[in-house]
Homo-oligomer: A and B are copies of this chain.
């Protein structure tokens, strides 16, 4: 990471540390996911037995460097939208108790070069609102509900 902060304080390190604190569940609702470091952390959690679910945007999945194929290959459940609009959220929920959300897509470009924000919230009210949104999207993007005509 090229950010000017001390190594342990940079946004990637902080995000990784919070992510790796997951013990039971991880919900990811991300427009774009192309950071190899974050993908490795998510795979590690999956291997440790954390229940990982990922929702993403179909168009961004096709972009160069997307880690979504790799996560699927590792056995992680991924669902994506079927709409022309973007699934533009960028949030993660750890153990149904910690919400991380903001402007940051999980890409190397965003982490290294952009001006971004990530809020970390543990208030039940916010966590529940985003968890409810996740469950709505998760069901809406269930392949059983695909319409081909």
Contacts and interface: CB of A to CB of B under 8 A. Distances in A.
Interface of A: 31, 81, 83-91, 101-104, 109-110, 112-117, 119, 126, 130, 133, 137
Contact of A117 (B91, B109, B114): B91
Contact of A86 (B101, B113, B137): B113
24 contacts: A31-B103, A83-B113, A83-B115, A85-B113, A85-B114, A85-B115, A86-B113, A86-B114, A87-B115, A88-B104, A88-B114, A88-B115, A88-B116, A89-B103, A89-B116, A89-B117, A90-B103, A101-B103, A102-B102, A103-B103, A115-B137, A117-B130, A117-B133, A119-B119
A116 B134 CA distance: 12
A2 to B, nearest CB: 10
A119 B23 CA distance: 27
B115 A81 contact: yes
